[in-house]
Amino acid sequence: MPERARNPGDGTGRESGGAAGLLKQIGLAEVYNPSMLPTLRPGDRLVLKYGPGVRPGAVVVLRHPFQHDLLIVKRAVERRSGGWWVVGDNPHVRNDSREFGTVPDDLVVARAWVRLRSPRGLQRSFWPVVRWAVSAVRPLVAVRPLRSSSLSRRLRAR
Domains along the sequence of the chain with CATH? 3-157 (2.10.109.10)
* CA–CA distance, 27 with 114 (Å, rounded to integer): 11
Instruction: Reduce the DSSP state of residue 65 to 3 states and report it.
Output: coil
Residue 2's pLDDT band (cuts 50, 70, 90): low
Between residues 58 and 24, the one the model is more confident about: 58
Helix (H, G, I), strand (E, B) or coil at 126: helix
Percent of the chain topping pLDDT 90: 54
Is residue 9's pLDDT more than 50?
no
Per-residue pLDDT band at 156 (split at 50, 70, 90): low
The C-alpha atoms of residue 123 and residue 5 are separated, in whole angstroms, by 28
Is pLDDT of 80 > 90? yes
> Which has the minimum average pLDDT: 2-11, 17-26, 31-40, 135-144?
2-11
How far is it, in rounded angstroms, from Cα 42 to Cα 32? 5
Of the listed ranges 20-29, 32-41, 53-62, 117-126, the one predicted with least confidence: 117-126
Q: What's the average model confidence in pLDDT over 101-117?
A: 94
Kindly tell me if the per-residue pLDDT of 29 is higher than 80. yes
Predicted confidence (pLDDT) at residue 154 exceeds the cutoff of 80: no
Beta partners for 3? 31
Average of per-residue pLDDT across 83-109: 94
Confidence tier at 17 by pLDDT (50, 70, 90): low
Would you say 27 and 110 are in contact if contact means Cβ atoms under 8 Å apart? yes
